[in-house]
Amino acid sequence: MHIEQFPPDVQEFIYDLCAKALERAAKLIPIVSEEVEVGS
């Protein structure tokens, strides 16, 4: 399924969810990589 099949407001909602998920992941990645360095 392509995102273009959804109505514009739904597309906006999905993009917003993705942006928030990416922000959260970006905050978690440095923490995880630090733990890996300490563990090795």
For residue range 1-40, what is the model confidence (pLDDT) as tens digits?
Answer: 677 788 999 999 999 999 999 999 888 877 766 766 665 5
What is the pLDDT at residue 37?
67
Measured CA to CA, the distance from residue 26 to residue 9 in angstroms comes to 26
What is the pLDDT at residue 39?
59
What is the pLDDT at residue 21?
94
Measured CA to CA, the distance from residue 22 to residue 8 in angstroms comes to 21
DSSP 5: G
What is the pLDDT at residue 30?
79
Distance of alpha carbon 28 from the chain centroid? 10
Q: pTM here? A: 0.54
**Cβ contacts of 4 within 8 Å, gap of 6 or more:** 11
